[in-house]
Amino acid sequence: MSGIKILGYGLSQGDKIVSNSDLEKIIDTSDSWIREKTGIERRFFSVEKNNLDMAEEAAKRAVENSDVKVCDIDLILVCTFTPDYATPSVACGVAGRLNLGKGVMCMDINAACSGFVYGLNIAKAMLESKASKCVLLIGSEKISPLLNMEDRSSCILFGDGAGALILGADEEGLFESSSGVLYDDEILFCDRSNPKVSMRGQEVYRFAVNKVPEIIREVMAKGGCSAEDVDRFVFHQANLRIIDSAAAKLKIPENKIYKNVQNYGNTSGASIGICMAEMMEKGLLKAGMKVVCCGFGAGLTYGATFFTVGE
């Protein structure tokens, strides 16, 4: 059995705060509608910074607040569906900006809003197999240029940002995962020929409120625990109503759930990374705690992990 240790954490946001009232000025919407339907109050759009700039900022902050030397990092994973280039990857760019080269493996993971959960799985597998000793796992998204600002049902939802964790192996730790895909390219997609996010919101909503509790129950059963035993639940931040519905079905007390969708909107593959970095900063993720993370989104992908935070 082997788990993960969190050795460092870092955050970055888009450079422009966009409130619901700002959106009221350009589309037919209202602050009250957005808050009531999603819980979102504002989001960051990145005007000056590209995806790599945010990933680099989060990565450098993670290194700064850890005891890890940059040269210890031997795997860089960036969870993103919005890389600046088809190739090279954002992960290669981060390696370049950290002056890393020989002995480092770099790759982007595109699993949309399940990205960070899939990234945790890959990091853990690489650490457990000893193929890696120190993983820099980043979720970074610049979604704003891909928004159709004439589609009020989708453009109000998303934002830009990055969250990074530096992970090491915890020989004594627990780590379980469950995941899946229900292939669909019509409900939620972004086509290269017309690169704008397109979504049938109600169908995604129904998928999420059904799959999230199911996959969390499954991963908790693998970990031999119930919601009572888990200290922290970290959901992909898409919509407060989805989180609250899952919490009600699983009978999770409010104080175990971390929410920041109010401030960021939906940052897709970055959202769980941003949550975890903020939780570390606030002292909400401590060694020995049992944590469940759950992501869901385009693909349609879904996944959950259960792990203990290593010493």
Contacting range for ligand UT7; rule: CB under 6 A; set: 121-129, 168-176, 195-203, 250-258: 195-203
Minimum gap (Å) between residue 89 Cβ and ligand UT7: 22
Binding mask 244-283 for ligand UT7 (x = CB under 6 A): ----------------------x-----------------
Minimum gap (Å) between residue 197 Cβ and ligand UT7: 9
Non-local CB neighbours of 206 within 8 Å, separated by 6+ positions: none
**Segments of 194-243 assigned E as strands:** 194-199, 232-235
59 neighbors 118 (Cβ within 8 angstroms): no
When the beta carbons of 139 and 223 are compared against ligand UT7, the nearer one is 139
When the beta carbons of 104 and 143 are compared against ligand UT7, the nearer one is 143
160 neighbors 13 (Cβ within 8 angstroms): yes
12 neighbors 18 (Cβ within 8 angstroms): no
Q: Is 275 part of the annotated catalytic residue set?
A: no
DSSP 143: -
Strands 175-184 and 75-79, how do they pair?
A: unpaired
- The interface with ligand UT7 within residues 105-124 (CB under 6 A) comprises 113
Q: Which of 20, 38, 140, 308 binds ligand UT7 (CB under 6 A)?
A: 38
Radius of gyration, CA atoms only, the chain? 18
For residue 97, count CB atoms less than 10 angstroms from its CB and return exposed for 0-12, middle for 13-18, buried for 19 or more.
Answer: middle
Q: Is 51 part of the annotated catalytic residue set?
A: no
Minimum gap (Å) between residue 77 Cβ and ligand UT7: 20
- The interface with ligand UT7 within residues 279-308 (CB under 6 A) comprises 297
Q: Counting contacts by CB under 6 A, is residue 204 touching ligand UT7?
A: yes
Please report, in angstroms and rounded to a whole number, the separation of the first and last CA atoms in the chain.
15
Residue corresponding to tokens 């860089």: 76
Q: How many CB atoms lie within 10 A of CB 240?
A: 18
Q: Which of 32, 129, 202, 226 binds ligand UT7 (CB under 6 A)?
A: 202
Q: Is 121 part of the annotated catalytic residue set?
A: no
| Rounded Cα distance, 302 and 283, in Å | 28
**Cβ-closest residue to ligand UT7?**
201
C-alpha angle with apex 197: 191 to 201, nearest 5 degrees?
A: 125
When the beta carbons of 51 and 267 are compared against ligand UT7, the nearer one is 267
Q: Counting contacts by CB under 6 A, is residue 37 touching ligand UT7?
A: yes
164 neighbors 55 (Cβ within 8 angstroms): yes
Phi and psi at residue 285, to the nearest 5°: -120, 105
Q: Counting contacts by CB under 6 A, is residue 238 touching ligand UT7?
A: yes
- The interface with ligand UT7 within residues 10-29 (CB under 6 A) comprises 29
Distances (CA, A) of 98 to 105, 226, 239, 252: 13, 41, 34, 40
Binding mask 124-153 for ligand UT7 (x = CB under 6 A): ----------------------------xx
Which candidate in 236, 239, 263, 275 is catalytic? 236
Contacting range for ligand UT7; rule: CB under 6 A; set: 45-53, 99-107, 141-149, 235-243: 235-243
Where along the sequence are the contacts to ligand UT7 (CB under 6 A)? Answer: 29, 33-34, 37-38, 113, 152-153, 156, 199, 201-202, 204-205, 208, 238-239, 242, 266, 297
Write out the catalytic residue numbers: 113, 236, 266
